[in-house]
Amino acid sequence: MKKKIAIILAVAIVLVSCVALVMCNNKQEPEGQKKFTVGVCQLVQHPALDQATQGFVDGLKAELGDRVTIEVQNASGDTNVCNTIVGDFVSKNVDLIMANATPALQAAYNATAKIPILGTSITEYGVALGTTLTNGVVGGNVSGTSDLAPLDEQADMILEFMPDVKTVGIVYCSAEANSAYQVAEMKKFLAAKNVTVKEFPFSDSNDISAVVTAACAESEALYIPTDNTAASCAETIGNIVREKKIPVFTGEENPAKVCGVASLTISYYDLGVTTGKMAAKILKGEADVSTMKVEYAPATKKYNKEMCDSLGLTVPAGYEEME
């Protein structure tokens, strides 16, 4: 009998120890202190994307602080490197992937259907992913923010500066799906205003000098959409258009600071912050990526005073000077 009691007591002690160990482990990492790892794949280094990434990091850190580790990788403009970066994130089983620019989003979308993906600096998610949004929702494991400023208002911007313009050349990278989408839309809006549009696509940065030179010879003004490759070559474009005295209008502010006269632009930093806050909601279990609507940022009319002065362009009302 004493032996049975001793066995029962021993078993009870073991059970109590196990319960205490579980409670101790739970106490060490309660739900409110769970740690997360987020991978960021940025297509290329240029001011707009850099600002979006920084905004994302700041926005996410503001919500989760030291509970989140963020690994930022830059693909240097190579879509194959995007695939490698995202593949590494998937193998590490990160808690969320942020894809900065369309090729990065496409790489993440093709790499995983499980890990939540947020895009930023994406013009149109349906075009980028070959899908259709329902009430602003991508669905599946993808959502994010868009950098699309109203394209009809961008067409109006050109005519506000140049009411008599007849021919506008659009310079863009043919490898960027969202650039092709913007070109098609701008052609419609400008054609409706009796402006002839000529397309000047280039395949990569090696072609840009020749393409921009040809565009200047055949156009009264140029338009550059939110195109990552073109933005990274803004200085090269600027050198050519300054010599040819051709006004350039852009889909975002940063290239306009270097080579343009005006832009209907958003704050990429604020866009990144919004994306970071979306990420925090997903990681904290407050939102489901599959039902999150794509979010947008308000657009502002801005002008480059130095370029406007050099070309003798009068700045219309309602534009603010670029800093």
Instruction: Tell me the C-alpha distance between 49 and 42, whole Å.
Output: 7
Q: Are residue 158 and residue 192 in the same domain, yes or no?
A: yes
Q: Are residue 214 and residue 117 in the same domain, yes or no?
A: no
We report the CATH number of the domain holding residue 130 as: 3.40.50.2300
- Cβ contact 240:209 at 8 Å: yes
Q: Are residue 200 and residue 97 in the same domain, yes or no?
A: no
List the domain range (segments joined by +) for residue 51. Answer: 36-147+267-292
Q: Are residue 126 and residue 271 in the same domain, yes or no?
A: yes
Instruction: Tell me the C-alpha distance between 272 and 118, whole Å.
Output: 10
Q: Are residue 251 and residue 123 in the same domain, yes or no?
A: no
Q: Are residue 159 and residue 260 in the same domain, yes or no?
A: yes
Note whether residue 241 is domain-resident.
yes
Short-list 232, 234, 202, 206, CA closest to 77: 232
- Cβ contact 319:161 at 8 Å: no
Note whether residue 240 is domain-resident.
yes
Q: Are residue 176 and residue 309 in the same domain, yes or no?
A: yes
Note whether residue 68 is domain-resident.
yes
Q: Are residue 272 and residue 233 in the same domain, yes or no?
A: no
Note whether residue 85 is domain-resident.
yes
Q: Are residue 140 and residue 163 in the same domain, yes or no?
A: no
Spell out the SS3 assignment of the chain: CHHHHHHHHHHHHHHHHHHHHHHHHHHHCCHHHCCEEEEEEECCCCHHHHHHHHHHHHHHHHHHHHHEEEEEEECCCCHHHHHHHHHHHHHCCCCEEEEECHHHHHHHHHHCCCCCEEEEEECCHHHHHCCCCECCECECCEEEEECCCCHHHHHHHHHHHCCCCCEEEEEEECCCHHHHHHHHHHHHHHHCCCCEEEEEEECCHHHHHHHHHHHHHHCCEEEECCCHHHHHCHHHHHHHHHHHCCCEEECCHHHHHHHCCEEEECCHHHHHHHHHHHHHHHHCCCCCHHHCECEECCCEEEECHHHHHHHCCCCCCCCEECC
Note whether residue 277 is domain-resident.
yes
pLDDT at 323: 87
- Cβ contact 98:143 at 8 Å: no
Note whether residue 18 is domain-resident.
no
Note whether residue 250 is domain-resident.
yes
- Cβ contact 115:90 at 8 Å: yes
CB neighbour list of residue 53: distance below 8 Å, 6 or more residues apart = 40, 42, 72, 98, 100, 272
Q: Are residue 78 and residue 171 in the same domain, yes or no?
A: no
Q: Which residues pair with 303 in a beta bridge?
A: 262, 321
Q: Are residue 182 and residue 122 in the same domain, yes or no?
A: no
pLDDT at 177: 87
Q: Are residue 186 and residue 311 in the same domain, yes or no?
A: yes
Instruction: Tell me the C-alpha distance between 36 and 124, whole Å.
Output: 29
Specify the pTM. Answer: 0.80
Residue carrying structure tokens 């990681």: 283
Note whether residue 215 is domain-resident.
yes
- Looking at the structure of the chain, the number of domains it has is 2
Each residue's pLDDT, cut to its tens digit, for the chain (323 residues) gives 444 444 444 444 444 444 444 444 443 445 568 999 999 999 999 899 999 999 999 999 999 999 999 999 999 999 999 999 999 999 999 999 999 999 999 999 999 999 999 999 999 999 999 999 999 999 999 999 999 989 999 999 999 999 999 999 999 999 888 899 999 999 999 999 999 999 999 998 899 999 999 999 999 999 999 999 999 999 999 999 999 999 999 999 999 999 999 999 999 999 999 999 999 999 999 999 999 999 999 999 999 999 999 999 999 999 999 98
